[in-house]
Amino acid sequence: MYQEIDENTTMSITLIQNGVPQQHNLQDELAFSEQTFNFDLANQSASYAFWSQVLVSAKSKLEEARLNGQVLHAQIANEARTELSKPSVATVEDYVLAKAEYQQNLQQQLDWQTQVDKLNYIVKSFDQRSNMLSQFGANLRKNLDNIAR
């Protein structure tokens, strides 16, 4: 699963699952009302579980990119030690950082870290939504009790 987040839209996210893009409007998914309360309450745990799984998947991709980066760094550093006449720690590190493939990996790590950070906030939003649904339900019961009296 690949997560792609539009930089210009904070309330929309596209998840690509099995090659098929799925657009999610977070404003719609997080919203609830008295008319949709029972449906929203019934689906809250599934929504939270879904977004938590997306977050876990993004964290896994981030760790994979970091691991690939470490391996790539080691390979390029070994290449530098054979290519450079008198390699020092600084020159080897400069050699590694100058390689386009290593820069691409660093950018990939940054992209995944950004995705993870955004998904953390989405999961927290669904957690807060759960609390709000509980409070909203309590208020509805209180209002119904007041009307019945």
pLDDT 10s digits, 33-84: 889 888 998 999 999 999 999 999 999 999 999 999 999 999 999 999 999 9
Q: Is a pLDDT exceeding 60 seen at residue 6? A: no
pLDDT in tens, 91-148: 999 999 999 999 999 999 999 999 999 999 999 999 999 999 989 888 888 887 778 7
Does residue 27 carry a pLDDT above 90? no
* Ramachandran quadrant class, 36 (left: phi over 0; alpha: psi -120 to 50; beta: rest): alpha
Which pLDDT does position 7 carry in this prediction? 58
Is-contact 76 102, C-beta < 8 A? Answer: yes
